[in-house]
Structure 1
Amino acid sequence: MKSLYLKKEDCCGCSACYSVCVNQAITMKADEEGFLYPEIDQSRCVDCGRCTEICPVTYAGNYKESNTPRFYVARHKSPEVLRQSTSGGAFTAISDAILRQNGVIYGADYDADFHVLHQRAETSEQRDRMRISKYVQSDMGNTYAQSKADLKEGRMVLFTGTPCQAAGLRGFMGNSPLTDRLYTCDLICHSIPSPLIWEEYKRLLERENGGKLVSVQFRSKKDGWSRANSNKGFLFTIDKSSEIQEDDRFYQLYFKVGSITRPSCSQCRFTDIHRASDLTIADYWGIEKYSPEWFDPLGVSVILVNSPKGAALFDQCRQDLVAEERPKEESFNEQQRLREPLQFPETRSDFWEDYRHFGFEYVLGKRNNGS
């Protein structure tokens, strides 16, 4: 097999193909925009076709549930959990239900250099590192294989990630009876930014501040939880000072300019209400319009219950939540990624051409100045 995709819009980078290949013929390599794509070692490939059979982008139905989910507004009962969460603490409640049963959590975390990658958690302390949103595509590594190994050991597994990552895991697992203990939870995903641009941004912050990053936080709630505050409030600290600093230039490239997201996001197969996961979580935008008594400046979540397994898990975590079923139309109206994919600006190719010729600081200054 020469290639797994015809154009880059057909690859979401989930790494299911890499994980399923028993001959280790596939590696995930970064392209010039920093996104991972599969490459095939022809000397190892036996043309079994397994990699293309399970691809969540091309698989018929994309592993999505056919039924319409039930929508809930939810808020964690603990104010401290709310303060430490991006939205209303739904992820903490869901994952705690798994941890109470000696289960394992997989989710996005940082390594020591703030690369974003999927990690494994067996304790609440390890899980807590996965709470806050990370606006970078995570490196899946061997997460799918590790999840399967835990399932074989009789552990319950909760996998959390983007919709395409969750669908990739479903493809990797197939119809295995092990999936009886596997639970998946995805996000209403805006799109996934380039890891390369994230690396450039980190290095710039370190150069400008004369030190090494020791903490970063997307989606700070220092000004409260609201849609208006959702694309600002990136906080960081440098090793030479305990001062918490704020810089929103990465947000500007991501939300305002819109040129640093993966090509497949413009044709995403997972931007509708039919989900490939048991549960879906996100911000409950607009709740102050539909039911003002539910608004909380510490955060409010929407939870979509997409499957019978999702319903069972939701019942188990409700002891930690205040929750109420809501009309699906509310979130459908407020969450654009439940209706359609992100549309790229016509200047996307210009951005990357400028980056290749003039460097990151040039495009950062140019784009944030509105040119």
Structure 2
Amino acid sequence: MIDKVTAEQCALCGSCRNACPVDAISFDKKHLDFRYPRIDTDRCIGCNRCEKVCPVLKPVSGSAEGFPIAYVARNRDDGIRRISTSGGLFHALASRVLAEGGCICGAVLDGQFRARHIVSDSPDDLRRMMGSKYAQSDMGLCYREIRDRLTEGRTVLFSGCPCQVAGLRAYLGREYPQLILVELICHGIPSAEMLQAYISMREKQYGAKLCRLEFRNKDKGWHRSSVRMEFGNGKVYHVPITEDAYMNGFLNSYMLKPCCYDCHFRNFSAGCDLALGDFWGIETMPTWHDDNIGTSAVLVNTEKGKAILEQLPLDKQPCLLEEIIRFNRNLVCSALPHPQREAFYACAEAKGYEAAIRQFLEYSAAHRARSRLRYRVRCLWYAIRGKEKPFY
């Protein structure tokens, strides 16, 4: 049974649940507030299908010879880029798939601000899938839905973290020419419960229910991405990600799922067609104009991915793989746990997550002042150098 995989190894990809022929697996066993698979032993028939589709127990193949190929790219529609996390590449891909009668699968936030993957052929759902979610996504039974759409002969675009791409490939057990796999450059995944605790804390602070959440708002530019929360009473919380408590916990690796600290799916081993992320460090490339709206790092991992990228209406140019890895170390290295991670969880267990967030993650006024001063100094540096926009 799938319980051979420990909590420190399990990627929470959901392939076991989707593969179980008697639906004996649910994700409701908690460890550090992450939801792990639990087997109903009364229903289990011992077929071991869950083990056969586990990408941890049965690793899938990775990059082919000659790949990955690196590019810097962006959507030609500035309006799309402004509402995208980085350069609007996912929108370009998904729009093409939908226009050709295909389906898309990605993470959305539901009415309770919980992330979950859905399969859809609606442009309205494309808008919901755009933007980073920074929380564990409930995969549900979307792998089954994808298999059904593929069996019908429809094109499917799947977007997820490397472990989710590997989980889907392991579940399907074969290659489909009309399946497009997009991997997001991943730092790690916080728990859904952590996000709920953070939202509850802000709702108490602002005296109303949360109505809208953006983790990477670009009102102040891509290089000054902000967390923006709109509440029912009209109040707005809007601070740079470098000053936000939740993003502190994420970026400094306090609260990632245990397997993220020893990721099995780095080094392009999940077998995606394309990998997408922010092209941090773009200001160091003299041949690319950084307009501070958003630029994507693109890694082509298969011939299929190469052909797809060539068909998209993008501004792009090849670059060195090392130029992307330099500012996206999690492509090749696992995240390192914060030295106070255990103390953070001990506090959370004793006093609750809101108390732990306030004690360990909430930035002081002095830190926020220093952050803004550094930003202004860099603005001045850019002005002196004749560049247009600052970076962090």
Q: Please say whether Structure 1 and Structure 2 have the same fold, judged by a TM-score greater than 0.5.
A: yes
CA distance in 1, matches of 2:317, 2:166: 27
SS in 2 for 1:129: helix
Q: Distance in 1 between matches of 2:268 and 2:325?
A: 8
Among candidates 280, 302, 310, match of residue 305 of structure 2: 310
| Paired residues, number | 359
- 1: CA distance between counterparts of 2:174 and 2:270? 18
The one-letter code matched in structure 1 to 2:310 is: D
Partner of 1:65: 63
Match of 1:271 among 247, 266, 269: 266
SS at match of 2:36: strand
- 1:141-183 superposed Cα distances (whole Å, 9 cap, x missing partner): 011011111112221100101010011000111126xx22211
Q: Give the Cα–Cα distance (whole angstroms) in 2 for the partners of residues 134 and 259 of structure 1.
A: 17
Deviations 1:226-272 (A, max 9, x none): 2xx35xx110111111x43225121122223x221100000101222
**Equivalent residue, structure 2, for 1:126:** 125
Q: Does the 8 Å CA contact 1:69/1:304 hold for their aligned counterparts? A: yes
The answer to whether residue 200 in structure 2 is matched with residue 203 in structure 1 is yes
TM-score of the two chains, using structure 1 as the length reference: 0.92
Between the aligned partners of 1:238 and 1:64, the Cα distance in structure 2 is 44
Per-residue deviation, 1:54: 1.9
1:368 aligns with one of 335, 355, 361:
361
Provide the C-alpha distance between the structure 2 equivalents of 1:284 and 1:359, rounded to a whole number of angstroms. 36
The answer as to whether partners of 2:62 and 2:268 remain within 8 angstroms in 1 is no
Contact 1:254/1:260 (8 A) holds in 2: yes
Paired letter, 1:181: Q
Match of 1:143 in 2: 142
Aligned partner of 2:248 in structure 1 is 252
For residues 94-119 of structure 1, give each alpha carbon's deviation from its aligned partner in whole angstroms, at most 9, with x where no partner exists: 11121121011110101111111112
Q: Is the 8 A contact 1:193 1:254 kept in 2?
A: yes
Task: Supply the AA of the counterpart residue of 1:363.
Answer: A
Partner of residue 45, structure 1: 44
Q: Distance in 1 between matches of 2:362 and 2:203?
A: 22
Kindly report the root-mean-square deviation, in angstroms, between the aligned alpha carbons of the 2 structures.
1.8
SS in 2 for 1:119: strand
C-alpha deviation, 1:27, in angstroms: 1.3
Is the 8 Å Cα contact of residues 66 and 274 (structure 1) preserved in structure 2? no
Aligned to 1:9, the other structure's residue is in SS state coil
Aligned to 1:16: 15
Any idea what SS the aligned residue of 1:12 has? coil
What secondary structure is seen at the aligned counterpart in 2 of 1:314?
helix
Residues 370, 122 of structure 1: alpha-carbon distance in 2 compared, 3 angstrom cutoff: closer
Indicate the residue corresponding to 1:173 in structure 2.
172
Which residue of structure 1 aligns with residue 110 of structure 2?
Answer: 111
In 2, the alpha carbon distance for the partners of 1:2 and 1:73 equals: 40
Distance 2:163 2:2 in 1: 23
Q: Which of the numbers 276, 279, 282 marks the counterpart of 1:287?
A: 282
- SS at 2:310's partner residue? helix
Tell me the residue number matched to 1:184: 181
Give the conservation status (yes or no) of the 8 Å contact 2:275–2:300: yes
Kept after mapping to 2: 8 A contact 1:63/1:170: no
Percent identity for Structure 1 against Structure 2: 33
SS in 2 for 1:261: coil
Structure 2 vs 1, CA of residues 358 and 189 (structure 1 numbering), >3 Å: closer, same or farther?
Answer: same
**C-alpha distance in 1 between matches for 2:261 and 2:185:** 15
| Pairing partner for 2:321 from 328, 333, 345 | 328
**How many angstroms apart in 1 are the aligned matches of 2:203 and 2:287?**
42
Judged with a 3 Å threshold, the aligned counterparts in structure 2 of structure 1 residues 339 and 239 are, in CA distance, closer, same or farther, namely same
Structure 1 residue 184, shift from structure 2 partner = 0.8
The answer to whether the aligner puts 1:78 opposite 2:70 as a matched pair is no
Does structure 1 residue 217 correspond to structure 2 residue 214?
yes
How far the C-alpha of 1:370 sits from its partner, in A, is 7.4
Q: Is the contact between residue 225 and residue 299 of structure 1 (CA under 8 Å) also seen in structure 2?
A: yes
Aligned to 1:337: 330
**1: CA distance between counterparts of 2:80 and 2:264?**
32
Shift of 1:315: 2.2
Report if the CA contact (8 A) 1:109-1:118 is conserved.
Answer: yes
Pair 1:236-2:229 in alignment: yes
Give the Cα separation in 1 of the matches to 2:256 and 2:273: 26
Q: Secondary structure at the match of 1:105?
A: strand
TM-score, normalization by structure 2: 0.87
Q: Is the 8 A contact 2:24 2:41 kept in 1?
A: yes
Cα 1:294–1:30, aligned 2, differ >3 Å: closer, same or farther?
farther
